[in-house]
């Protein structure tokens, strides 16, 4: 069974700092990996999707990388802002349309 | 395009009752997935429907069931509610094919079982 882990569970940084969130998964047989953010009490917003054949994706200040063979992905956030405060989740898509989610990293950016 | 909508947004039930939650996907999306989110277990996959057929199922008891209608709207039902069913239930619709599927989530239904 696929297991997805995210480290750290919580992170607090001053505004302007660059940061890295980590995601690891146990089974490398994935179709894609997606990063989401979730604001308190809300649904999930898709940030980046990396297909299994890709190494990285970028959107604005966000860059996600994927190393399928080692079962790892990182989300890099440049020049963090208070509005980036949220919980960040990674999810891997396995066979069919089933997704396994990590436990999330709760990020607080201090003004 | 309107996003994924879920109704109701909040629900309070008592143990033993049953509940039905509704999800309307983004127009044109044919796949709808349901997830349960709790502080202890995180996000767990319940099931996925595509063209009115259940295509994938997670590891939940038979008290959790769902269906999808011809217009792609989906409902999930939980019978004989237990305290542990208190959670945020999220619905997601999927667009795309060939490994490029992006999931779009609704705001969720927060269920409290007393």
pLDDT for residue B4: 95
Longest CA–CA span in chain B (Å) reads 43
Whether residue B14 is predicted with pLDDT greater than 90 in this model: the reply is yes
pLDDT for residue A99: 85
Distance, in angstroms, between A30 CA and closest chain B CA?
9
Whether residue A42 is predicted with pLDDT greater than 70 in this model: the reply is yes
Whether residue B97 is predicted with pLDDT greater than 70 in this model: the reply is no
Separation CA B80–CA B103 (nearest Å): 30
pLDDT for residue B55: 87
The answer to whether the Cβ–Cβ distance between B102 and A52 falls below 8 Å is no
- List pLDDT tens digits, range A53-82: 999 999 999 999 999 999 999 999 999 999
Q: Is A76 touching B (CB cutoff 8 A)?
A: no
Size of interface A-B (CB pairs under 8 A): 67
**Which residue in chain A is spatially nearest to B97 when comparing CA positions?**
A97
Instruction: Name, in order, each residue with C-beta under 8 angstroms of A89's C-beta and a sequence gap of 6 or more.
Output: A6, A35, A36, A37, A38, A44, A101, A102, A104, B43
- Burial of residue B60 (number of CB atoms within 10 Å: 0-12, 13-18, 19+): middle
- List pLDDT tens digits, range A80-109: 999 999 999 999 988 766 789 999 999 999
Which residue among B45, B58, B102 places its CB closest to the CB of A46? B102
Q: Minimal CA–CA distance to B95: which of B5, B24, B30? A: B30
The answer to whether the Cβ–Cβ distance between B45 and A98 falls below 8 Å is yes
Which residues of A are less than 8 Å from B45 in CB distance?
98-101
Q: Is B42 touching A (CB cutoff 8 A)?
A: yes
Q: Per DSSP, what are the bridge partners of residue A88?
A: A37, A105
Task: Say if CB A7 and CB A19 are below 8 A apart.
Answer: no
Distance, in angstroms, between B105 CA and closest chain A CA?
6
Instruction: Name, in order, each residue with C-beta under 8 angstroms of A24's C-beta and a sequence gap of 6 or more.
Output: A4, A5, A6, A7, A71, A72, A73
């Amino acid at each position: 069974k696929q297991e997805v882990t995210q480290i750290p569970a919580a992170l607090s940084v001053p505004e302007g700092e660059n940061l890295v969130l980590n995601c690891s998964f146990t089974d490398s047989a994935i179709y894609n990996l997606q990063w989401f953010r979730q604001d308190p009490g809300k649904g999930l917003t898709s940030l980046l999707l990396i297909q299994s054949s890709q190494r990285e994706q970028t959107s604005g200040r966000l860059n996600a990388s994927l190393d399928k063979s080692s079962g790892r992905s990182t989300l890099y956030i440049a020049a963090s802002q208070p509005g980036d405060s949220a919980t960040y989740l990674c999810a891997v898509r396995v066979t069919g349309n089933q997704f396994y989610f990590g436990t999330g990293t709760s990020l607080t950016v201090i003004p | 395009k309107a996003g994924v909508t879920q109704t109701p947004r909040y629900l309070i039930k008592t143990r033993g009752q049953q509940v039905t939650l509704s999800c309307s996907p983004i127009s044109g999306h044919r796949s709808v997935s349901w997830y349960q989110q709790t502080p202890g277990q995180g996000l767990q996959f319940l099931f996925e429907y595509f063209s009115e057929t259940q295509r994938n199922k997670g590891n939940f008891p038979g008290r959790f069931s769902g269906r999808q209608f011809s217009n792609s709207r989906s409902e999930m039902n939980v019978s004989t509610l237990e305290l542990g069913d208190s959670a945020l239930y999220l619905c997601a619709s999927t667009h795309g094919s060939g490994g490029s599927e992006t999931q779009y989530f609704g705001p969720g239904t927060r269920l409290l079982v007393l």
